[in-house]
Amino acid sequence: MSVTISSPQLRAEVSAHGAELIRLQDDQGRDWLWDGNPAFWTGRSPLLFPIVGRVRNDRIRVGGLEYELPRHGFARTSRFEIEEANPSQCRFRLSSSEATLQRYPFPFRLDVSYAVEGATLNITAAVANTGSAGMPVSFGFHPAFRWPLPYGAPREAHEIRFEQEETTPIRRPIEGLLRRDAEPSPVQGHVLALRDRLFEADALVFDQPRSRSVEYGADGGASLRVDFPGMPHLGIWTKPGAGFICIEPWQGHADPQDFAGDFSDKPGSVAVQPGETRLFSMTVTLKPPTR
């Protein structure tokens, strides 16, 4: 089951499975979101909760006990309830259950809202701690946009333009964990020229980005802007040769190679106190060609 919301400039479809955005179209019906072709990757825009990336041995340790937790958590494979649906916005909910507590021993409520306003799609995740103890959590967005975008610009003309110069070294995953050693940033000033060879060693992980906004597209062609004001980490990923590029704002990231501590000490996670709700948000704005 899915819900479609729209404005005169934008149409978005969201599935109750994972509360995942599965279609994003402009006013001419052109698709800007990856179609989930299983030859490369079946995802389209999964939500990452309660972890981003992988934890060591796919297990977390809480209070001396271990719990098996798969890469990116379980929200992306869960069925959400539709709490609200109208022409321009919708809201989905996932609550803790006996099954989730066996993997993540914290009572929670996760509400994910989508709203369309003009050419902008707003996405907000509200994570509430419904238990009686502090709850460590990470959350991430994982949208896959078409590469190349509609309007006919060639693939090699596409780039990601950062709000700030990004000179800080980046990290790479190794067997799903965050590599200990950093490597020089591939961003030249504000610009990351997109080439398949960038991703032969897996994703680019900006664990200390200065930017909280990027623009993706071809110079003078169609583009989109991704804003993520409260998200301190960013991943960029594709499979070489695939027709998508993922621009992923995160709160948190995979376990560092040398991390073996309690889940409450996991780098990148935040503590949500009993009765507290933590918000995570991003926006996507479609921009037509300028020439």
Closest to 283 in 3D by CA, of 169, 124, 102: 124
The per-residue pLDDT for 151 is 86
Which amino acid is located at 64 in the chain?
A: G
Q: How far is the C-alpha of 256 from the C-alpha of 171, rounded, in Å?
A: 10
Q: Are 21 and 130 in contact (CB under 8 A)?
A: no
- Alpha helix (H) residue ranges in 77-139: 98-101
Q: Which residues pair with 278 in a beta bridge?
A: 127
For the domain made up of 2-287, give the CATH fold.
Answer: Beta-galactosidase; Chain A, domain 5 (2.70.98)
Q: How far is the C-alpha of 253 from the C-alpha of 55, rounded, in Å?
A: 9
The per-residue pLDDT for 252 is 96
Query: What's the farthest any 2 CA atoms get from each other in the chain?
Result: 60
Q: Is the dihedral of CA 81, 285, 204, 231 positive or negative?
A: negative
DSSP string, 174-211: ETTEEPSS-B----BTTEEE--GGGGTT--EEESS-S-
The pair of three-digit structure tokens given for residue 278, joined into one six-digit string: 């933590």
The per-residue pLDDT for 118 is 96
Give me the residue spans of the domains in the chain: 2-287
The per-residue pLDDT for 123 is 98
**pLDDT tens, N- to C-terminus, the chain (291 residues):** 899 999 999 999 999 999 999 999 999 999 999 999 999 999 999 999 999 999 999 999 998 999 999 999 999 999 999 999 999 999 999 999 999 999 999 999 999 999 999 999 999 999 999 999 999 999 999 999 999 999 889 999 999 999 999 999 999 999 999 998 999 999 999 999 999 999 999 999 999 999 999 999 998 788 999 999 999 999 999 999 999 999 999 999 999 999 989 999 999 999 999 999 999 999 999 998 765
